[in-house]
């Protein structure tokens, strides 16, 4: 077995050297061609460079009989298997074929139901007498139903098409890559190779664990980290998502963040060319190149300063009230949590109807309350207020705050309930013995015991507030930009990002806005962590 393992190690060294040469050749080809440009070219070069370096590392490690060589060999061959497998599916049109399969799936639902029932029947009885006959018949019916399902949804012709496309040169090459990658991964995992390179039991379990978590890790890299880094690259370009990106460096950030301050003279403020007035504080005027971006930042700052306390403080008192053993209290807990599980669009549409200045329930209740007031004796007559909730720039942002707070109070209440039930009841009993009243127990026992919960509630609510989008777009769908509200009073960074990226198709500028928002959220979260650390240290 040791001789066989040594031969395998030698073969793997040659294999990885060939892979390194092939990857290096691919990098040279990409650098010499202009047919692949932009982010796709950079991503391909990065992948090939990684493959070349990892393969060289695997070859060197195997030659030195070190565990790192085996680890890199497993990683490279496993990734080769995955890349060829996904490439074969793409080459054979499987991903587009899933749409066609979805359109015909309803025809196979009866067969699927019969197959499920038959499968249940295979577990009937103990396998003797009548029960044995029932189980055999169930197996037969299940097989027939599965065949009928495949025929009904048209999967058999799809499989034949898959085989025919695999028989092409590209398909066969990808199939060979799948077989080689799978076999070498499996073979490198065997105990004889582990003994050859001195892999310890702990290191062996680590490799196995990495293989098990690899779907999640690769999914994270492909669908989160990869697009995130790509958006960072795009933010340094002028790009409309159709033509080739044009590198402009920090141009987008400079355009976005540029400010100018001047003194107001005779009621007028003069700014350099390209700047517009953003606002005034006394005799000082502020100008910006991108007024809408700074307006969105100011809006989200005001929104967060009001919406976060309104979503957190009432939730704390509500959780304290609900943290009792009163009959039916679970029903009230469920009622308060319902807004948190409702869809953002549905919630916003309901509130849009409530806010309607003509037929909305809120203004109607104000009229009704005024009528009751006027019907009472010895009270001055009042006129019913009719706020224009969605068309008045002075109150539009407050309307948005109400919707946000109403939607997330229930969720925060549940979090506080969990925190309250984690506080040792003996602390309250000791405070009662010391003569503390209810408010003193709440201030000196409950609030300190909820520090960790409050940190999480404030941080999560703040992140949601800074990412506000759906509510604005639905409530102010007729404004320009969409979601900006009257006079841009509800314009938020995410709404502005959407306007730049998906309506004006300025993907570079939209990516720059996204990264500025990321920095803003990171700073907010970092401050919360620092405060939490100081409180714990204190």
pLDDT at residue 450 is higher than 70: yes
- Contacts of residue 329, Cβ cutoff 8 Å, sequence gap at least 6: 322
- For the segment 271-293, what is each residue's pLDDT rounded down to a tens digit? 888 888 888 888 888 888 889 99
The verdict on 391 and 473 lying in the same domain is yes
The verdict on 43 and 132 lying in the same domain is no
pLDDT at residue 471 is higher than 60: yes
Query: Would you give the distance in Å from CA 267 to the centre of its chain?
Result: 48
The verdict on 269 and 297 lying in the same domain is no
Q: Where does a domain end: 149, 165, 181?
A: 165
The verdict on 150 and 200 lying in the same domain is no
In a domain, 187, yes or no: no
Q: pTM of the predicted model, to two decimals?
A: 0.77
Q: Is the pLDDT higher at 444 or at 304?
A: 304
Confidence of residue 2 (pLDDT cuts 50, 70, 90): low
In a domain, 172, yes or no: no
In a domain, 13, yes or no: yes
In a domain, 337, yes or no: yes
pLDDT at residue 125 is higher than 60: no
Is the distance from CB of 93 to CB of 165 less than 8 angstroms? yes
- pLDDT attached to residue 405: 92
The verdict on 296 and 203 lying in the same domain is no
How many beta carbons lie within 10 A of that of residue 319, not counting itself? 25
φ/ψ bin of 124: left (φ > 0), alpha (ψ from -120 to 50), beta (otherwise): beta
User: What integer is the mean pLDDT of 301-311?
Assistant: 94
The verdict on 73 and 205 lying in the same domain is yes
pLDDT at residue 398 is higher than 90: yes
Residues forming a β-bridge with 465? none
* CATH, residue 513: 1.10.3720.10
pLDDT at residue 120 is higher than 70: yes
The verdict on 421 and 314 lying in the same domain is yes
Report the domain count for the chain.
4
- pLDDT attached to residue 267: 77
In a domain, 533, yes or no: yes
- pLDDT attached to residue 514: 93
φ/ψ bin of 131: left (φ > 0), alpha (ψ from -120 to 50), beta (otherwise): alpha
- For the segment 163-213, what is each residue's pLDDT rounded down to a tens digit? 888 899 999 999 999 999 999 999 888 888 888 888 888 888 888 888 889
Cα–Cα distance measured from residue 59 to residue 19, given in angstroms and rounded to the nearest whole number: 10
Cα–Cα distance measured from residue 274 to residue 254, given in angstroms and rounded to the nearest whole number: 12
In a domain, 249, yes or no: yes
In a domain, 182, yes or no: no
Mean pLDDT over all residues of the chain? 84
Share of the chain above pLDDT 90, in %: 24
The verdict on 260 and 230 lying in the same domain is no
In a domain, 176, yes or no: no
- pLDDT attached to residue 269: 79
pLDDT at residue 155 is higher than 90: no
Instruction: Mean pLDDT check: name the lowest of 5-19, 35-49, 372-386.
Output: 35-49
The verdict on 197 and 334 lying in the same domain is no
User: What integer is the mean pLDDT of 229-251?
Assistant: 87
The verdict on 305 and 450 lying in the same domain is yes
Residues forming a β-bridge with 237? 247
The verdict on 123 and 18 lying in the same domain is no
- For the segment 54-73, what is each residue's pLDDT rounded down to a tens digit? 999 999 998 888 989 999 99
Task: At 285, give phi and psi (nearest 5°).
Answer: -115, 145
Confidence of residue 84 (pLDDT cuts 50, 70, 90): very high
Q: Using CB atoms within 10 Å of the CB of residue 428, give its burial: 0 to 12 exposed, 13 to 18 middle, 19+ buried.
A: middle
Q: Where does a domain end: 252, 274, 289?
A: 289
The verdict on 354 and 487 lying in the same domain is yes
- Per the structure, the complete domain to which residue 124 belongs is given by 97-165
pLDDT at residue 538 is higher than 60: no
User: What integer is the mean pLDDT of 503-513?
Assistant: 91
């Amino acid at each position: 077995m040791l001789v066989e393992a040594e031969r395998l190690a030698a073969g793997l060294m040659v294999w990885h050297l060939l892979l390194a040469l092939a990857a290096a050749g691919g990098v040279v080809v990409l650098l010499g061609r202009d047919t692949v440009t932009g982010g796709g070219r950079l991503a391909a070069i990065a992948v090939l460079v990684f493959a070349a370096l990892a393969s060289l590392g695997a070859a060197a490690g195997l030659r030195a009989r070190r565990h790192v060589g085996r680890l890199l060999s497993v990683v490279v061959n496993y990734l080769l298997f995955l890349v060829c497998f996904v490439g074969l599916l793409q080459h054979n049109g499987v991903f587009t074929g899933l749409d066609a399969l979805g359109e015909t799936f309803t025809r196979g639902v009866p067969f699927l139901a019969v197959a499920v029932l038959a499968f249940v029947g295979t577990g009937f009885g103990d396998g003797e007498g009548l029960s044995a006959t029932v189980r055999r018949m169930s197996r037969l019916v299940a097989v027939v139903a599965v065949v009928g399902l495949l025929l009904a949804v048209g999967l058999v012709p799809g499989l034949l098409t898959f085989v025919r496309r695999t028989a092409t040169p590209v398909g066969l090459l990808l199939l060979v890559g799948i077989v080689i990658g799978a076999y070498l991964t499996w073979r490198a995992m065997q105990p004889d190779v582990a003994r050859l390179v001195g892999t310890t039991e702990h290191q062996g379990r680590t490799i196995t664990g990495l293989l098990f978590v690899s779907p999640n890790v690769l999914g994270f890299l492909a669908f989160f980290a990869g697009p995130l880094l790509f958006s960072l690259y795009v933010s340094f370009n002028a790009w409309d998502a159709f033509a080739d990106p044009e590198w402009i460096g920090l141009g987008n950030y400079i355009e976005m963040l540029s400010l100018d301050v001047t003194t107001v003279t005779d009621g007028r403020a003069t700014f350099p060319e390209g700047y517009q007035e953003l606002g005034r504080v006394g005799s000082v005027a502020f100008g910006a190149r991108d007024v809408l971006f700074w307006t969105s930042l100011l809006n989200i700052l005001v929104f967060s300063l009001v919406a976060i306390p309104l979503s957190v403080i009432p939730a704390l008192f509500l959780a304290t009230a609900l943290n009792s053993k009163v009959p039916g209290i679970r029903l009230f807990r469920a009622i308060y949590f319902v807004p948190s599980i409702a869809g953002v669009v549905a919630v916003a549409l309901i509130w849009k109807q409530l806010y309607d200045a003509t037929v909305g329930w809120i203004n109607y209740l104000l009229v009704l309350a005024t009528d009751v007031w006027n019907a009472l004796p010895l009270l001055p007559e009042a006129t019913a207020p009719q706020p224009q909730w969605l068309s008045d720039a002075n109150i539009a942002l407050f309307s948005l705050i109400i919707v946000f707070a109403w939607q997330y109070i229930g969720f925060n209440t549940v979090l506080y309930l969990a925190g309250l039930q984690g506080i040792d009841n003996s602390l309250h009993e000791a405070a009662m013995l010391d003569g503390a009243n209810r408010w003193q127990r709440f201030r000196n026992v409950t609030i300190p015991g909820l520090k960790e919960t409050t940190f999480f509630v404030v941080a999560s609510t703040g992140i949601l507030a800074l990412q506000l989008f759906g509510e604005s777009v639905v409530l102010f769908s007729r404004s320009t930009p969409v979601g900006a509200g009257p006079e841009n009073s509800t314009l938020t960074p995410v709404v502005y990002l959407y306007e730049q990226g998906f309506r004006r198709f300025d993907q570079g500028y939209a990516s720059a806005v996204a990264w500025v928002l990321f920095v803003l959220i990171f700073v907010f979260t970092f401050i919360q962590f620092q405060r939490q650390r100081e409180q714990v240290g204190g």
